[in-house]
Amino acid sequence: MKNRWRKVLYENHDKPDNYIDETFLDDLKKNLYVRKYDLWTVIRESGVVTQQISCVCIFVLLFIYMKEDKISPQMLVAISLATTFVGYLFFCWLSASELRRSAWADLKSAGAFLTLSFGLSPILMTLTSTISTDTVYAMTVAMLLTNLLFHDYGANAAIVSQSLSLNAAIFSAVCLASRLPTRWHAFATLALALQIFALWPSLRICLKQKHWLNQCLTTLLLTVLSVVGMATISFTGAVLLALLHLFISFGCSTWLIALQPLKNNIHGPWDEAVISN
Amino acid sequence: MIHNICMVSDFFYPNMGGVESHIFQLSQCLMERGHKVIIVTHCYGNRNGVRYLTNGLKVYYLPIYPFYNQCVLPTVFPTLPLIRFILLREKISIVHGHSSFSTLAHEAMFHARTMGIKAIFTDHSLFGFADGSSIITNKVLKYSLAGTNHVICVSHTSKENTVLRAAINPHKVSVIPNAIDGTIFTPDPSKRHPCRLRVIVMCRLVYRKGADLLAAIIPQICSQHPDVDFIIGGDGPKRIVIEEMRESHSLQDRVKLLGTVPHHQVRDVLVQGDFFLNTSLTEAFCIAIVEAVSCGLQVISTKVGGVPEVLPIDFIQLAPPSSKALVAALNAAIDLRRQEKHVDPLVAHQRVAKLYTWQNVAMRTEKVYNAMAEEPEIELRDRLLRYSQCGPVAGKIFIVIAVINYFFLIIVAYWSPAEHIDIATDFPHKLKSTPQRWTRSAAKRTK
């Protein structure tokens, strides 16, 4: 056939402008870049969310313990220094040596931080003390939720902001410090916040990269710690927390897998090209 | 059949670009064919009110200020009284909106449909489906196009894209390409450099136009061919990338950056070159490559969007969007040129200038207008039914908006009745002293 329709603009003068050829939408492709998920991988990876929620719970629990005098601030500082030291040794052992700063540099920044926050703890203690307790708690809740929302879970998304999540957590620590009686308390709260929200996540990432089993163990350890800790304060809270952990790990993972067949992503020549090299 | 047409878009002169010149040229050619055309846009700085352009083309610059990317704030209802007033005053029978980015175009078409005036829409751009902003824009487009009578797209790829985005019947979509003014874009081989080859690039220097690709190609070509130079017209955030490349490879004397080139000087830049390079990552039609061929240049372009449809293969070298492939295509074009096997500039001009003329675009658009004028008016009930098919939730919202607008129209009509609105006198076309370009057709009309 001579006058066959072609998908060009400089021919086809015999056809009407709204002509539809049988090749219409031939270049349409669906679900080109769909990732196949494996249920157990998704469940394992969901651990990063559970871990962070557990950390937030542990932080709040330790604050409550201090407030109820179940643990002395000196004790808490000692524990957190000891665990930080052990964690640091682990971190040195796990991370590639050429990427790391020298131990001396790390020691210097740790020393500077500890002296500064200890020196400033009387100010930190009174910084938000004039604000009513309800407001302080509401602010703490909002800030810890902000921390959860913007935390770097490993996703490459615009919402991820490590600095925002860390700052939110530190702010919540400053808020809480004012509800405790002594400067030692304020110092302990701040040191704890830094350990849990700044240092611990980077060690967790190292552990996760080393071996997948580490990820499972960390998740399990943190989950058990947070639920048991919660049980000492409120039984209902513990049950709810356990349910939340189960829902995130198993419920959401299965849900994601179940929704996968509904994916309908359209591709075609109209897509913005990606530069290939 | 003579129509009273109202072109609406946020984008118009003094803003310059593809959509703006499309509206202007199409309006001029439709006026030449005897139709009455007015243009409605928002105000630009102190350019506010009614202005007359070439051949008495009347432009309403509405006192609505742009808020983002030259578009007015989408408010839907408040524009109704003003647009109704203009449509009645000018006795408009067809409202023709341009560009899916233009909120004013969507609102005017929506009001026209509420008033029972036919609405036609021309889509100039391509959209993806994956990211958040396109999902929202596509939803708005779906609603807007559910009401319009007909859609015009500039290429077949653009038609496929629009049909998918707006979920409309493909029979309601016509493909009418863009055009160029063949009397302006003429070749002039005497302006070329006698012993060096020049590659022209003419685009805004932004990511979507492939400025990064450009920065990767230039050093490779310059090192392979000591007699090839680059001239880059256009400005944008990626200009710094090109400048850095030029510094680091010491190509200051071989890569010339002109900055933004005014549209009337584009031809003078084009004729200085032998090749035209287009590195766009997405393009619905790409008028620039047609202008380049019309000026006698050999075109090398990325194979994206509607670009492969535009030119016959002997005028264009297509390559996938990677620097390696583009370098290979440019090399092939340079080899052809050295062997004197390239298409003669005059032959290229004669073929392309005949393919894409505004007169042809106007004639084909007029066919769409005629078909629409004969189409029976859609009843309000059917219109609402169409909106409800836009989605289980969005459909309901759309119906509510349409009904509110309908009631608002009744209130406005009671408040300022149609018979109290003065009818504008038409521009006295027969008395005008016709400029050179229009004499031939004017003579034809009087015969």
The pLDDT of residue A97? 66
Assess: ipTM above 0.95: no
User: Contact B330/B221 with Cβ under 8 angstroms?
Assistant: yes
**What is the dihedral sign for C-alpha A59, A233, A229, A145?**
negative
The pLDDT of residue B434? 45
Residues from chain B contacting residue A35 (CB–CB below 8 Å) = none
Could you report the per-residue pLDDT of B265-292, keeping only the tens digit for each?
999 999 999 999 999 999 999 999 999 9
User: Contact A16/A214 with Cβ under 8 angstroms?
Assistant: no
Average pLDDT estimate for B432-443? 45
Could you report the per-residue pLDDT of B22-53, keeping only the tens digit for each?
999 999 999 999 999 999 999 999 999 999 99
Residue to substitute from A17, A20, A266, interface B, most B β-carbons within 10 A = A17
Could you report the per-residue pLDDT of B55-99, keeping only the tens digit for each?
999 999 999 999 888 888 999 999 999 999 999 999 999 999 999
Architecture of the structural domain at B189-355: 3-Layer(aba) Sandwich (3.40)
The pLDDT of residue A247? 96
Question: Are B161 and A8 a contacting pair at CB < 8 A?
Answer: no
The pLDDT of residue B435? 45
Q: DSSP string covering B256-305, please? A: EEEEPPPGGGHHHHHTT-SEEEE--S--SS-HHHHHHHHTTPEEEEE--T
Residues from chain A contacting residue B171 (CB–CB below 8 Å) = 18, 20
Quick one: tokens of B96?
A: 């023709």
User: What's the pTM?
Assistant: 0.80
Reply yes or no on whether the pLDDT at B440 is more than 60.
no
The pLDDT of residue B188? 92
- Taking the C-alpha atoms of residue A155 and residue A147, their distance in angstroms, rounded to an integer, is 15
Could you report the per-residue pLDDT of B314-325, keeping only the tens digit for each?
899 999 999 999
- Taking the C-alpha atoms of residue A223 and residue A248, their distance in angstroms, rounded to an integer, is 12
Chain B, 171 to 190: residues with Cβ < 8 Å from chain A are 171-177
Task: Break chain B into its structural domains and give their ranges.
Answer: 4-179+358-420, 189-355
Residues from chain A contacting residue B312 (CB–CB below 8 Å) = 8, 10
User: Contact A162/A170 with Cβ under 8 angstroms?
Assistant: no
Residues from chain A contacting residue B161 (CB–CB below 8 Å) = 268, 270
Reply yes or no on whether the pLDDT at B137 is more than 90.
no
Phi and psi at B53, nearest 5°, equal -105, -170
Reply yes or no on whether the pLDDT at B429 is more than 80.
no
Quick one: tokens of B259?
A: 């900055």
- What's the Cα-to-Cα distance from B256 to each of A173, B300, B323, B327, rounded to whole Å? 57, 19, 20, 19
Reply yes or no on whether the pLDDT at B254 is more than 80.
yes
A31, closest residue in chain B (CA to CA): B130
Phi and psi at A166, nearest 5°, equal -65, -45
How many CB atoms lie under 10 A from the CB of residue B88? 21
Average pLDDT, chain B: 91
Give the rounded percent of residues in chain B with a pLDDT score beyond 70.
Answer: 96
In this chain, the answer to whether the domains covering B4-179+358-420 and B189-355 adopt an identical fold is yes
Question: Where does chain A show beta strands of DSSP type E?
Answer: 29-30, 266-267
Among the partner residues A7, A20, A270, nearest to B305 by beta-carbon distance: A270
Give the rounded percent of residues in chain B with a pLDDT score beyond 90.
Answer: 76
A272, closest residue in chain B (CA to CA): B282
Residues in chain A whose Cβ is within 8 Å of chain B? 7-10, 16-18, 20, 24-25, 27-28, 265-277
CATH of domain B4-179+358-420: 3.40.50.2000
Quick one: tokens of B119?
A: 């609405």
The pLDDT of residue B441? 47
Supply the DSSP symbol for A198. Answer: I
- Taking the C-alpha atoms of residue A223 and residue A219, their distance in angstroms, rounded to an integer, is 6
- Taking the C-alpha atoms of residue B299 and residue B293, their distance in angstroms, rounded to an integer, is 7
The pLDDT of residue B432? 47
Residues from chain B contacting residue A272 (CB–CB below 8 Å) = 128, 208, 281-282
Spell out the per-residue pLDDT of chain A, length 277, in tens. Answer: 457 888 899 887 788 898 998 889 888 888 888 888 899 999 999 999 999 999 999 999 999 999 999 999 999 999 999 999 999 988 888 877 666 678 888 899 999 999 999 999 999 888 888 999 999 999 999 999 999 999 999 888 888 999 999 999 999 999 999 999 999 999 999 999 999 999 999 899 888 888 889 899 999 999 999 999 999 999 999 999 999 999 999 999 999 999 988 888 888 888 888 887 6
**B447 confidence band (pLDDT: 50, 70, 90):** very low
- Taking the C-alpha atoms of residue B196 and residue B221, their distance in angstroms, rounded to an integer, is 14
Supply the DSSP symbol for A252. Answer: I
